[in-house]
């Protein structure tokens, strides 16, 4: 078990890990029909696994707030995520989002704090916490946007590998704050942020190494005049905000209520692991 100063989970990322056919078929038979619990099971299983991996007094879960302010910058931001995919994928996504609301309720009885900010995404809250939390903090997430936060004690963990500033510098040969420049040039197809055609990550990184700042790159002859608007738009969308006004959902440790919920949802394989939440409370 590794000791750190804080572990923060991106709720959407952890929830989307349940977007598998197996998880989305998990459930139990009730009088009203088959009740799906795959996302709830997957999310709580992941939290328990993290508590067995990391030792810390500070556990946080951060949530997206919709609509995000980025829609005011570009109304096509993440537009391809709305209703996209096959019918089966849309159904799975709908079920996952519904169950994430149940996860939020369950977390209220674990003692884990939940944070939101009006009009901001979870990534923005992570950016805010990167400057407000002291020491080593582990962000359980996967978005490459977060590379700009590496440093200042931040490690990104995606359940497979840990990535920190040392890894980033070795991988790209630039400093983490320059990642905004890279994404301003390449865009981010995951979030439907267009970039300059013909410029991928490798080219963008080489431009940063050669010229330094984005302004110096724009002042060169590399970027066409008609592409300036694309770059400025992308920069506004990919740069994370570190000044969120955070609101917290009240949470307290209630082992009786927690066990009752797990029994009701028939999460039997996790029942023996509920002691990790008590250990978390005692460690504070």
State residue 83's pLDDT score. Answer: 61
CA 112, CA 108: separation in Å to the nearest integer?
7
Closest-CA residue to 103 (of 16, 162, 196, 184): 16
State residue 194's pLDDT score. Answer: 93
Q: Phi and psi at residue 185, in whole multiples of 5°?
A: -85, -40
* pLDDT less than 70: residues of the chain: 80-84
SS percent in the chain: helix, strand, coil, step 5? 50, 15, 35
State residue 132's pLDDT score. Answer: 97
Is there a contact between 255 and 277 (Cβ–Cβ < 8 Å)?
yes
Closest-CA residue to 125 (of 135, 144, 111, 139): 139
pLDDT single digits (tens) 85-98: 778 778 888 889 99
pLDDT single digits (tens) 54-85: 999 999 999 999 999 999 999 989 876 666 67
How much is the pTM? 0.94
Domain locations along the chain: 2-163+241-283
For helices 179-186 and 165-172, the axis angle rounded to 10 degrees is 50
Residue that has been written with the tokens 């500070």 in this structure: 58
Is there a contact between 65 and 116 (Cβ–Cβ < 8 Å)?
yes
Is there a contact between 10 and 126 (Cβ–Cβ < 8 Å)?
yes
CATH superfamily of domain region 2-163+241-283? 5'-nuclease (3.40.50.1010)
CA 114, CA 273: separation in Å to the nearest integer?
21
Q: How many CB atoms within 10 Å of residue 71?
A: 14
């Amino acid at each position: 078990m590794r000791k750190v100063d804080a572990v923060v989970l991106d709720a959407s990322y952890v929830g989307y890990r349940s977007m598998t056919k197996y998880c989305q078929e998990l459930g139990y038979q009730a009088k009203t029909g088959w009740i799906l619990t795959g996302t709830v099971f997957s999310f709580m299983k992941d939290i328990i696994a993290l508590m067995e991996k990391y030792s810390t007094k500070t556990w946080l879960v951060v949530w997206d707030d919709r609509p995000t302010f980025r829609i005011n910058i570009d109304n096509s931001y993440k537009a391809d995520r709305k209703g996209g995919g096959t019918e089966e994928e849309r159904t799975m996504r709908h079920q996952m989002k519904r169950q994430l609301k149940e996860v939020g309720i369950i977390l209220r009885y674990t003692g884990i704090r939940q944070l939101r900010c009006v009009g901001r995404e979870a990534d923005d809250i992570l950016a805010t916490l990167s400057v407000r939390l002291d020491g080593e903090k582990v962000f359980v997430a996967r978005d490459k946007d977060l590379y700009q936060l590496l440093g200042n004690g931040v490690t990104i963990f995606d359940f497979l590998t840990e990535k920190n500033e040392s890894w980033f510098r070795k991988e790209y040969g630039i400093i983490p704050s320059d990642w905004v420049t890279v994404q301003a040039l390449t865009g981010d197809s995951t979030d439907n942020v267009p970039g300059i055609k013909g410029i991928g990550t490798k080219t963008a990184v080489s431009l940063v190494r050669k010229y330094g700042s984005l302004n110096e790159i724009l002042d060169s002859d590399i970027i066409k005049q008609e592409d300036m608007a694309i770059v400025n738009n992308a920069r506004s969308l990919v740069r994370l905000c570190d000044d969120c006004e955070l609101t917290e959902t009240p949470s307290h440790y209630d082992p009786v209520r927690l066990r009752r919920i797990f029994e009701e949802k028939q999460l039997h394989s996790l029942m023996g692991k509920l002691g990790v939440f008590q250990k978390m409370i005692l460690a504070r």
